[in-house]
Amino acid sequence: MTAQQEHAPVTPARNRIDDLDAKLIALITERRRISAGIQRDRIAAGGVRTDTAREREIFRRYHDAFGSAGTTLGSMVLEICRGRLGAERERAAAVEPGREPDTPPLRLGVFSFANCGAVRWGLGDRQVATGTPEAMAAALLAGEVDVAPISLVEYLRHHDRLLALPDLGIGSDGEVLSCQLFTRGPLTDLDGGRVALGSTSRTAALLATILLAEWAGVNAEYRVEPPVLADMLRGADGAVLIGDAALAETLHPHPGLHVHDLGALWREWTGLPMVFAVWAVRRATALRRPAAVSAAHATLLEAAQQGSRQLDEVAESLAANGLFTREEMSRYLATLEHSLGGRHIAGIRHFAKLAARRGAVPDDADITFFGGQS
């Protein structure tokens, strides 16, 4: 017997710990088995191995129980259950050189708005183009970037040239805070009135006109204008604004102004989440360079997950520009959804039908995914 063993307190307490460790190991083994089943089903249905929103829930649970060590523990448990995240990207990258020699990496784009803050954070030092949704749609369609977010309306308008990346979107299941209709009075007062649509907004502008016409029964006249709320409201009874400007006006509303959250209204009306933007690739690029698109997709999924795991840090970095506090950014990031599950897709298809009825997108506009998921 070694000196250490002689002095080790082999007490009932240690036996109890051994017992608990054995139970934890058995529980994690059981968890891994169940998790593998869910992942298998999702992949068989054309999805990917991971579900960002679900992982965020799990991290929060461990964090609530054990603080930042809990986040590490949750991340280890997930790694045991679904493998290492980087592994997916490495596999995709490993396929790339063999199948698609001598081609440069795909060019990624992201929105400069806070709604891409988590993804930008997760991408770290990787070179990406940034721009407004308007600029990014133009760059994607012109071939200046290969994979980028695009507002839902622009995607639907160009659906025959684009494929959406599975499991990744920018949306909300209810309140979104950054896609807003501002009015001086109740919505019904807009009937027969004027609504200014901020020129940077595509999906939110159309969503507002659909909600007003079909849900609120309001018949208004619409005009596209530069996205400056005070100017917009000078000549109109309502104004639709998106992005950081809308967020600022929502978090610090002017007295007397009514703020209608378009994500919340949509949810109230349809019971579905609203997807404001999807991530897309040109069909021609997907055909020529499928492995590179897979690699880019895996990179973006991983970036979204990484950002979602570190929302406090993301909030801090977004607050650094002085426009918002860290708490405000945390609240905003918590309302955003980066996942694109069955309910989100149902929301997209419902919106596409309503938009087609108004002639805003082609009649056959639908979402089609890279990799064949439907």
Ligand X SMILES: O=C(O)C(=O)C[C@]1(C(=O)O)C=C[C@@H](O)C=C1
Dist CA 179 CA 154 (whole Å) = 16
> Per CB under 6 A, does 337 bind ligand X?
no
Is 168 a binding residue for ligand X by CB under 6 A? The answer is no
Under rule CB under 6 A, residue 38 binds ligand X: yes
53 in contact with ligand X (CB under 6 A): no
Query: How far is it, in rounded angstroms, from Cα 156 to Cα 364?
Result: 9
Q: Judged by CB under 6 A, does residue 51 bind ligand X?
A: yes
* 96 touching ligand X, by CB under 6 A: no
Instruction: Compute the distance between CA of residue 244 and CA of residue 227 in angstroms, rounded to an integer.
Output: 11
Q: Which is nearer to ligand X, 51 or 154 (CB)?
A: 51
The answer to whether 73 contacts ligand X (rule: CB under 6 A) is no
According to the binding rule CB under 6 A, does residue 75 interact with ligand X? no
- Per CB under 6 A, the segment of 51-59, 177-185, 186-194, 271-279 that binds ligand X is 51-59
CB 368 within 8 A of CB 283: no
- Using CB under 6 A, pick the residue from 74, 81, 245, 369 that binds ligand X: 81
Alpha carbon separation from 210 to 175, 196, 222, 357 (Å, rounded): 17, 14, 12, 10
Q: Which is nearer to ligand X, 58 or 213 (CB)?
A: 58
* Contact track, ligand X, 182-211, x by CB under 6 A: ------------------------------
Cα gap 119→117, rounded to integer Å: 6
How far apart (Å, rounded) are the C-alpha atoms in residues 159 and 144? Answer: 18
- Environment class of residue 195 by beta-carbon count within 10 Å: exposed (0-12), middle (13-18) or buried (19+)? buried
Taking the CB of residue 129, how many other CB atoms lie within 10 A of it? 17
Quick check: 39 binds ligand X (CB under 6 A)? yes
Q: What is the nearest approach in angstroms of ligand X to the Cβ of residue 88?
A: 11
Q: Is residue 35 a contact point for ligand X (CB under 6 A)?
A: yes
**Residue 227 CB, nearest approach to ligand X (Å):** 37
Specify the stretch interacting with ligand X by CB under 6 A; choose among 74-82, 171-179, 280-288, 340-348: 74-82
Shortest CB 319 distance to ligand X, Å: 28
| Shortest distance, position 65 Cβ to ligand X, whole Å | 15
Cα(96)–Cα(82) distance, integer angstroms: 23
Joined tokens for residue 200 = 């940077």
Q: Does 58 bind ligand X (CB under 6 A)?
A: yes
Residue 50 interacts with ligand X (CB under 6 A)? Answer: yes
E strands within 193-349?
194-198, 221-225, 238-242, 258-261, 274-282
Q: How far apart are CA 342 and CA 332, in angstroms?
A: 23
Q: Which is nearer to ligand X, 51 or 244 (CB)?
A: 51
Give the shortest CB-279-to-ligand X separation in angstroms: 18
- Counting residues that bind ligand X (by CB under 6 A) gives 11
CB-wise, 17 or 43, nearer to ligand X?
43
Decide: is 82 part of the binding site for ligand X (CB under 6 A). Answer: yes
Nearest distance in Å: CB 55, ligand X? 5
Strands (E) across 112-215 are located at 129-131, 147-151, 162-172, 179-183, 194-198
Cβ 95 to ligand X, closest distance in Å? 22
Nearest CA-CA partner of 369 in 133, 114, 119, 162: 162
Q: How many whole angstroms separate alpha carbon 131 and alpha carbon 153? A: 17
Q: CB count, 10 Å around CB of 248?
A: 16
Which residue, 39 or 180, is less far from ligand X as judged by CB? 39
Residues that bind ligand X (CB under 6 A): 35, 38-39, 50-51, 54-55, 58, 78, 81-82
